[in-house]
Amino acid sequence: MGTSVLLRLSHGAAPPKIDKPKLKRRFSMDLYWVLMSFCLVLTQESLVYADQAPPPSTDNRTLMERLVRAYPDQLQGYEGNDIVWKDGTRMAFDDDIRDKPFETLLNAPSLRDEFSMKYSPGQPQGIPMENFDPGRIRFEPFFERMYGNCDKNEVVPKLSTIAWLPKHNGGNLKVTAVNGVDHKLAAISKELDELPDSYTKYLIPSAGIYNCRAIAGTSRRSMHAYGAAIDINVKYSHYWQWSTEQKGNYKYQNAIPYEIAAIFEKYGFIWGAKWYHFDTMHFEYRPEILSPSSE
């Protein structure tokens, strides 16, 4: 016992050593980490923009393959510049017109133009650059052939009923059965139903699926006209057309948690919150756009 007291005393009594080089080293290490963190922030900023650049070197064959792989029920393959449908129909992929202005990309795209902006699955990295809308470019003849023309009553007969978050009484929704989208949305609904209850308010009531109207202020159809897009609860959503900012300068806003979008992306749906022209309640089935991050 005596020894331990002595030891403790001698230990306690030892004067604190001031090691100046050590202090100096610690200070420079602190400075190092401050600088490193600063550099990391800068790198992440530049990554945001790098990631949003169009994939410049992707050749037509790779893109056509991706398109065919995304819609195996409908497409048979490709030949030359043609996408070949299972019924033998051919559709030109590339119109050889480059550097289209943004409005032209929206209003008169080729099938190839759909791939001109890379959609990145996963947690959003920053806010989208001006006019960066991956997936908002749609070659309408392609989708009309696939899902039908709603003006000719070709879409409604292909709709199928699914239960929306049945454990939370989300009611029923009608969605296209083409490409098995109904089964995919049913699987999404099942997974969303298992999220903590705090997520339910974003999802119920759903603002709907099928709508034959054109996109507000345009003559273009949205994926709602094909029964292949869903809007979740409008109450927690933000939409660029509601923005009070001047045209072309919309303040980005989103309140929908990514955990919801992660489930949609898993089944081939892209999220409107990843667009400069944001539509945060909107999810549409676009497996060709949702390419693996390796491509």
Q: Which of residues 224-283 bind Zn ion (CB under 5 A)?
A: 231, 282
Closest by CA position to 234, among listed 250, 218, 211 = 211
Sole residue written with tokens 């800068």: 42
Give me the DSSP letters along 48-93: HHHHTS--TT--HHHHHHHHHHH-TTTEEEEETTEEEETTS-EEE-
Considering the complex, state which of residue 231 and residue 288 has its C-beta at the smaller distance from Zn ion: 231
Structure tokens at 61: 């064959």
**274 or 282: whose CB is closer to Zn ion?**
282
**Nearest-approach distance from CB 232 to Zn ion, in angstroms:** 9
201 CA to centre of own chain? 20
**Between residues 139 and 269, which has the closer beta carbon with respect to Zn ion?**
269
Q: Give the nearest distance from C-beta 268 to Zn ion in angstroms.
A: 16
Closest CA to 135 of 189, 90, 70, 83: 70
CA 154/CA 48 separation, integer angstroms: 41
Residue nearer to Zn ion on the CB measure, 63 or 185? 185
Q: Give min distance, CB of 133 to Zn ion, in A.
A: 13
Nearest residue to Zn ion by CB is 282
# binding residues, Zn ion (CB under 5 A)? 2
CB of residue 279 to Zn ion, shortest distance in Å: 6
**Binding to Zn ion, residues 136-195 (CB under 5 A):** none
Q: Of the two residues 179 and 280, which places its CB atom closer to Zn ion in the complex?
A: 280
With DSSP H G I counted as helix, E B as strand and the rest as coil, what are the percentages for the chain, rounded to 5?
45, 15, 45
Helix (H) or strand (E) holding 161: strand 159-163
Q: To the nearest whole angstrom, how small is the minimum distance from the Cβ of residue 213 to Zn ion?
A: 11
* In the chain, alpha helices (H): 2-13, 20-51, 60-70, 102-107, 140-147, 181-193, 200-203, 258-266
Q: Residue 112 or 221: which CB sits closer to Zn ion?
A: 221
At its nearest, how many Å lie between Zn ion and the CB of residue 283?
8
Residues that bind Zn ion (CB under 5 A): 231, 282
